[in-house]
Amino acid sequence: MLNICFMVPKVYPLFNPKVKIVFGGAEKQVYLIGKYLSAKENYKINYAVFDYNQNFHEKYDNIEIWKVFQKNFINLLTKSIKYLLNIKSDYYIFRGDDKKVFLLALFLKYVFKKKYFFFITTDSSLEFNFLLYKIFLKSADRVFCQKKKQKEVLEKKYKINSAILPNIYEVPKDNTKSNKSNRKDILWIGRSEEIKRPEIFLNLALQNQNESFCMIMPEATGKSLYYKKLLADGKKIKNLKILNFVPNNEINDYYLKAKIYVLTSISEGFSNTMMEAMYNKCPILSLKIDPDGILEKNNIALIAKDNINDFQIKFDSLINNPELRDKLGQNGYNYIVKNHHQDVIIDKFINYINL
């Protein structure tokens, strides 16, 4: 029996939807990996999470949840270590860019002789140059990345031979998706972070007032002022609807109502929202993002190469060409089912962790 502990503080709301706390794509990825690993024999799956006023220890199906993470740094390196050692995992898996968590991993490695893995989430996390991060990366027993570009950077910059593990997508057994004829919205989904450039979507809505725009934008941690400004600016745009929260089990409905999904980020790993749009046959308009050229190569999206004028031109092309939208949407769906299906990714993951 292989005992694995995922060290992801904010993953708990995915297990308990009553907790209305913002989570991101990184949390969703490790949630799905653990979910499908736990259904297989010989794997015991644990998650170490923050305090959300839940019990210290809870169980969801075959998965055990432990309230481990402490906000106080000293407690993190004392109480958290004690709790983690009691879980008795063979591997501890980290995902994120918190310096305190880097130290926690190094304590587990060098003081208690435990193995740990690390998941690279975004391209921006490969721009870090501080010594602690370099030691943390080099000390990992396995580093996972999402795409070829990230693997190349890890090899060149950090001299690390990483393993490419594409993002997982949960495809239901009944995986037929409807091409609804009532798609009418232009959709944007993301936290209120500057790196995602939500103000560009606001401006797109302002410049195209004959179209219906929908924005799902939870407030990002530490971004209260920025979030309030975005909301204030958004209220002035009559053809724009802004939602601050949609339950995870309802999110697909918004993609099925959308005729275009807009991606404005400066940097991403392999965006979960992009994958959701693809699975729901919603064509993508990307201002910049195209991981490893996959979107353009497979005719899944229109890419503006970070040119705002071309962005508007490509938007008009999609608006005026429903046949093109249908083609891009179908291509995206085919790509997700073939390359990101949970069975495909879990088999790869199992192969990688058998050190």
Backbone angles phi, psi at 343, to 5 degrees: -65, -40
Give the pLDDT confidence score for residue 18 in this predicted structure.
87
In the chain, the amino acid numbered 314 is: K
Instruction: Kindly indicate whether the domain formed by 2-168+340-353 is annotated with CATH number 1.10.10.10.
Output: no
Give the pLDDT confidence score for residue 311 in this predicted structure.
98
Q: Is residue 97 scored above 80 in pLDDT?
A: no
Same-fold call for 2-168+340-353 versus 185-339: yes
- Alpha-carbon dihedral sign for residues 195, 199, 204, 205: positive
Q: How confident is the model at residue 133 (pLDDT cuts 50, 70, 90)?
A: very high
Name the pTM for this structure: 0.87
pLDDT per position as a tens digit, 23-81? 778 899 999 999 999 999 899 999 999 999 999 999 999 999 999 988 887 888 888 88
Mean pLDDT of the chain: 92
Mean local confidence (pLDDT), 136-146? 95
Selection from 116, 11, 102, 115 nearest residue 65 by Cα: 11
Q: What is the CATH number of domain 185-339?
A: 3.40.50.2000
Q: How confident is the model at residue 175 (pLDDT cuts 50, 70, 90)?
A: low
Backbone angles phi, psi at 122, to 5 degrees: -125, 160
Q: Is residue 355 scored above 60 in pLDDT?
A: no
Backbone angles phi, psi at 54, to 5 degrees: -95, 175
DSSP structure class, residue 161: -
Q: How many Cβ atoms sit within 10 Å of the Cβ of residue 240?
A: 22
Distance, CA of 355 to chain centre: 26
Tell me how far apart the alpha carbons of residues 2 and 341 are, in angstroms, rounded to a whole number: 23
Distances (CA, A) of 116 to 95, 127, 128, 151, 353: 11, 22, 20, 18, 10
Give the pLDDT confidence score for residue 95 in this predicted structure.
87
Structural domain boundaries of the chain? 2-168+340-353, 185-339
